[in-house]
Structure 1
Amino acid sequence: MKAYIFPGQGAQFSGMGKDLYDTSQKAKDLFHQANDILGFDITKIMFEGTADELKQTNVTQPAIFLHSTILAEVMGDTFQPDMVAGHSLGEISALVANKTLAFSDGLQLVYKRALAMQSACEVTPSTMAAVLGLEDELVEKICANTPGIVVAANYNCPGQLVISGEVSAVEKACESLKEAGARRALILPVGGAFHSPLMEPAREELAAAIEATRFSQPACPIYQNVSTVAVTDPSEIKKNLISQLTAPVRWTQSIQNMIKDGATTFIEVGPGNVLQGLVKKIDKSAETEKAEI
């Protein structure tokens, strides 16, 4: 069974999506439609922008979404998923790819998500840190015993977890994690504490937009970050997507459940190849591929 997986923030690069624009009229039409929806020329930034321009949350998130969803669209009949999943932002790409969301609705949600997260980041100084070489349970315990707000945010693969919270709490937790034997506990260059309670203002803002958006019956199950199991009910998908901003990304558990349910090949759709690497670390026997037109 084929599982298609969609990357999140961090996979962007200058020139992303240009090959699609240059070789497919359908892709070109979708990129132009995106410029109209967003009200600015995102294609120009994607194709020619600097790393700093692409790093702005209001650009990064729609750019990655566009690369992923347009690639899936121009693959045509070769895009035949038995199941899908997306890492954080990638979950919305996955929902467009499996026909739960219309392209235009997905793009508008992604842009609102980016702006809401940016606003939430400005309320409290906050950050994230990558933790390598410790058991999840020990990381969770140290976070729980650290003063202030700091939580496990991304369960990327065994031995690789990202924590998220107030700057001072994350810094203190990193010290404790190193003392506990972490191979690394490294502050990440991100704008704020994604997938933590500090994203509550963004969750409330996005919830209203999600509630107002039409969610259709998907063409195949999605394994969502919050629930980690196969979901096909539109109302449940909607509820999980609303919870996602303040809840952890349980990627390890999602991939394990997809394998348990019969996934043999994982195909990454969009920029980069980070997810292929994570899948291999979760299960060495899983086959991984990069989606191509």
Structure 2
Amino acid sequence: MNVIRSEEQTAFVISPEVVKFVNDALIVNTTITSFKNCRFAFNEGAEFIEFDAKGKSRRFTDPPAWFISPNDFARGQWLNNHQLADYGTKEFISTFIAKFPNVKERREHCNLLFDLQLDKAAPASSQPAPVRKAGNRNRITTKPKITDLGSPEIFMQFYERLEKAVQSDRFPTLQILTGHEDLAKVPNSLKGSVRTWFKAITGELPPNNKRVEAGNVALFCAPIREQLKQIDAVGPERYYQTLSQAISQAGEQYIADFTFMFPQ
């Protein structure tokens, strides 16, 4: 809170506890005066939250101008934040080790500072990995369940991407609908919400590679355009408010089984 109250513009690496604190606070209220003029980047730049001068929040997924990537941050503000900018090499190493006694946390900070790309490094093994049959060995269903981010702003971004795709006769794939080409970097909560919203509007799941390769894009997009006209008639924001309530009431349904009709 001392950082938030500071009049200076300052950037900090935040812990998972802070991320949880901010998200939990937003469940209670989307306007938080204590967070006014604060900006948060989660999931290494896949999700963002801004609070305006009155503390009103806004969620979005497209990187804003103020976003500092972890590596850029590490090479600049990090040393000042941790008061290590003026240390010599030997003193820096001993202080760094003492400052982060937890080895996992120490690796994370080293990865940020020196771009070690630890997430890409595969440990060497003298034994070949055992060959396993593909498939669901535990016989536990992997069908995704409905989910909703509870953010009108992110829904409107999804809606605009969907409308733009079908108006130009392009398959609205998950990459297009989330705005991320690399789906591995997209939070599961966003992918699940996009699938849920798309199923509610169209009655289908977003087209996969097999559907795209099969063609017939005009035939696929034509009925969606008609459905979007109906949503435009009631207003996308009003539509989303009703849809969000329906998702909440539906509970633990699977996306494939979820249906939604806007009340007339």
TM-score category, normalised to shorter length: under 0.3
Q: Which has the higher contact order (CA 8 A, sep 6+)?
A: 1
| Bigger radius of gyration among the two | 2
Larger strand proportion, structure 1 or 2? 1
TM-score of the pair, normalised by structure 1 = 0.21
TM-score, L = length of structure 2: 0.23
